[in-house]
Chains A and B, each alone.
Chain A
Amino acid sequence: MLADDLLDKVGHVLLPVGTSLTEKMLQAISHHDIQQLSVVVEALSEDELELQKQQKLARVNHLFRLTGDSPPASTLKQYICDYRSKESS
């Protein structure tokens, strides 16, 4: 979501503060040579965070699917899981 009005070179408002940016909008403003814009990231709910975490851990399991229980690979896998879990908390 835009944290401030997005202006063009001469000060016209391209998008007002509070606009939720979509893929289509980003394409539309891409030819305006915009150097920077301020955004507010909307916080995810606890359920969304948990879902995101489970998806990340499932992906880690998939990547380690052939390493078996060998000690260094399982240790690395645990570290990656810890890392991904912290990202989603």
Chain B
Amino acid sequence: MTMTPDNAQKHYLLDDMVRHVKELPTLPAIAQEMMSNLDDDNASLDSIIEKVSLDQSLTAKILRIANSSHYGVNSKVVTLQQAVSMLGLKNIKNLIRMTALIQNFPVAQCVGFDFTAFWRHSVSTAICAELISRTLHMKHDFAFTAGLLHDIGRLVLATRFPTEYAEALALRKECDMQLLDAERTILGTDHVAAGHALAEHWHFSEVITDAIQAHHDPQLHSSNSLARIIHVADAISHALDLSQSEDDLVPPLSQAAWDHIGLHEADYLAIFHETEMRFEAYDQIVT
């Protein structure tokens, strides 16, 4: 293939993106632990409380969640110990993952990037993926994390290429096209490639890395059930309008992924309802 000036520019950007990904900060130790050791349920509550208590912002968020109406408590939760006991280890781990990621990506310089909508979408996809996974009797801790991280490449592009990514967002809006197409037109790459590069750099577990890479094309890792679940949960999150973004779009849905999951309408209606209910509580972290 002849390298046109346009192609040369795009290839430069792709290389640049990978280089920039390598320059990203390492995750705080506690988040690194939560991201890579998903199977490790042995971490004691006490050791997690001890680590969390060193982070004021995380402590405040956990207390806010514990005091939210979703958990239906009448008396106020005032200590981290009470909050952790109430929310449970799994929810605490998820909060740590979310907070660590939010703190690592300052996206303010990217015009048009709606950070709140981004997180609403990530959190709702995570919740929905966990519920699908639970309905299918699969291990659902992976599903939540993969759902939370599936669009992480968007943060990479918005923080490392704010000008170009702002152009891609403007093009998407102006032409009312899918985000993936707008990213490829302007940057010559997309958030899937960026997310995959970051996942490898941060040593996410293989199953999560594959799910990030295949969330728009679940056939890419056809043996990875999690990728199919994230693909469908992503579409449901858009369809339920949970990002509250005015010009949101449901992305194309894979027939193979849909068929493989094979749930009935009654299952989906229950999943829609519970996703919305649980999302209200998590939404407080974002807003």
- Give the B-binding residues of A (Cβ under 8 A): 35-36, 59-60, 63-67, 70-73, 75-77, 79-80, 82-83, 86
B76 at the interface (CB under 8 A from A): yes
From A35, A67, A75, A86, B250 is in contact (CB under 8 Å) with: A67
How many angstroms between the C-alpha atoms of A19 and B27 in the bound complex? Answer: 50
How many angstroms between the C-alpha atoms of A82 and B268 in the bound complex? Answer: 11
**Chain B residues near A79 (CB, 8 Å)?**
265, 268-269, 272
How many angstroms between the C-alpha atoms of A82 and B258 in the bound complex? Answer: 18
If A66-B176, A79-B265 touch, does A72 touch B239 (CB 8 Å cutoff)? no
Check B239–A82 contact: CB distance below 8 A: no
| Besides A70-B253, A73-B253, A86-B269, 8 new A-B residue pairs in contact (Cβ under 8 A), listed by A number | A59-B241, A63-B238, A63-B248, A63-B249, A70-B255, A72-B259, A79-B265, A79-B269
Q: Interface size on B (CB < 8 Å)?
A: 27
How many angstroms between the C-alpha atoms of A70 and B235 in the bound complex? Answer: 14
In the complex formed, the residue of A with least CB distance to B245 is A63
Check A72–B258 contact: CB distance below 8 A: yes
B28 at the interface (CB under 8 A from A): no
Check A76–B255 contact: CB distance below 8 A: no
**Chain A residues near B272 (CB, 8 Å)?**
79-80, 83
> What is the count of residue pairs linking A and B with beta-carbon distances less than 8 angstroms?
61
B74 at the interface (CB under 8 A from A): yes
- Give the A-binding residues of B (Cβ under 8 A): 74, 76, 176-178, 235-236, 238-241, 248-255, 257-259, 265, 268-269, 272-273
If A66-B249, A70-B253, A82-B265 touch, does A77 touch B74 (CB 8 Å cutoff)? no
From A35, A64, A71, B239 is in contact (CB under 8 Å) with: A64
Give the distance to chain A from B64, nearest Cβ to Cβ, in Å.
14
How many angstroms between the C-alpha atoms of A35 and B240 in the bound complex? Answer: 30
How many angstroms between the C-alpha atoms of A64 and B252 in the bound complex? Answer: 9
Give the distance to chain B from A30, nearest Cβ to Cβ, in Å.
15
**Chain B residues near A77 (CB, 8 Å)?**
239, 250
Check A75–B241 contact: CB distance below 8 A: no
If A65-B249, A76-B250 touch, does A82 touch B269 (CB 8 Å cutoff)? yes
In the complex formed, the residue of B with least CB distance to A33 is B76
In the complex formed, the residue of A with least CB distance to B178 is A66
How many angstroms between the C-alpha atoms of A29 and B241 in the bound complex? Answer: 31
If A63-B241, A76-B235, A83-B269 touch, does A35 touch B76 (CB 8 Å cutoff)? yes
If A63-B248, A67-B253 touch, does A76 touch B236 (CB 8 Å cutoff)? yes
Give the distance to chain B from A34, nearest Cβ to Cβ, in Å.
12
Check B239–A60 contact: CB distance below 8 A: yes
**Chain A residues near B250 (CB, 8 Å)?**
63-64, 66-67, 73, 76-77
**Chain A residues near B254 (CB, 8 Å)?**
72
If A76-B235, A79-B269 touch, does A35 touch B252 (CB 8 Å cutoff)? no
**Chain B residues near A73 (CB, 8 Å)?**
235, 250, 252-253
How many angstroms between the C-alpha atoms of A59 and B242 in the bound complex? Answer: 12
How many angstroms between the C-alpha atoms of A15 and B234 in the bound complex? Answer: 44
Give the distance to chain B from A68, nearest Cβ to Cβ, in Å.
9
**Chain B residues near A70 (CB, 8 Å)?**
252-253, 255
**Chain B residues near A82 (CB, 8 Å)?**
265, 269
**Chain A residues near B273 (CB, 8 Å)?**
83
Give the distance to chain A from B262, nearest Cβ to Cβ, in Å.
11
In the complex formed, the residue of A with least CB distance to B235 is A76
